[in-house]
Amino acid sequence: MGSCDTCVVRNRAICAALDGDEIEVLSTIGRRKTLSAGDPLIWEGDDSLLVANVIEGILKLTNSTEDGREQIVGVVYPSDFIGRPFGATSGHSVTALTDARVCVFARSDFDRFAGEHPALEHKLLKRTLDELDRTRSWMLLLARKSAEEKVATFLLDMSERLIDANCETPSDGTLEEFDLPFSRQQIGDILGVTIETVSRQMTRLKREGILDLPTRRTVKILDRPALEYMAG
């Protein structure tokens, strides 16, 4: 595997909890893997055989319904950790939304290493709790918010999470212009609304001068306070 010292997410990934000697040991059990958009990494229901850190790109977490439909249940960005450590089966599929690079570990090797390094286990626990908090917030969005509030909340979340994806750190911690990694149909699936509702809300935000939409995927936030107000 390439040098961890030059990894662009070295200070933000779970391995940031390790010292130089520990990183050197970890690097001996990992390997870099390059994915093209659409490539699968983990399959729902399979034995949990690998875990990974995202280095570049964006991946989606999905579950399938009995009739074969796909539901996006999460998105991971650079420095995020994916996979199911410590046994069991994979609860969802993981597929590249964009071209991506990941640092992959055999789950058994990673489990053994984590058991010998409490700082890494602590970092994993903290990330798990953070993910639980995000999941609870998302449950509120899906259950209680209006279509207008859902789309506004989604765009605000993207402006924060895509900072790492673009390897940028604006002074205010947000991006005002970014390219969405999703189609409008996928956004509708994530938010539990129709594609027509997503398009209608995006058009309204543009008409009211809150957003500019230079292309089908590009979003430029012109009035962040107004977007935050619409998000509730």
- pLDDT at residue number 174: 58
Q: 103 near 32, Cβ under 8 Å?
A: yes
> Closest by alpha carbon to 53, among 1, 122, 89, 88?
1
Torsion angle defined by CA atoms of residues 127, 19, 25 and 163, in that order, rounded to the nearest 10 degrees = 40
How far apart (Å, rounded) are the C-alpha atoms in residues 138 and 119?
Answer: 29
Sheet of 40-42, strands arranged across:
40-42, 93-96, 59-64, 70-76
- pLDDT at residue number 3: 65
- For residue 194 the two structure tokens come to 């129709």
Sheet of 177-179, strands arranged across:
177-179, 218-221, 211-212
Residue-level pLDDT, tens digit, the chain, 232 residues: 556 767 788 778 888 878 888 888 888 888 999 999 999 999 998 888 999 999 998 899 988 888 878 888 888 888 889 988 887 888 889 999 889 999 999 999 989 988 888 888 888 888 888 878 877 877 777 778 899 999 999 999 888 877 655 545 444 555 688 888 888 988 888 888 999 999 999 999 999 999 999 988 899 999 999 999 999 8
> Closest by alpha carbon to 52, among 3, 8, 107, 123?
107
Going from the N-terminus, what domains does the chain have, and what CATH number goes with each? 4-138 (2.60.120.10), 145-230 (1.10.10.10)
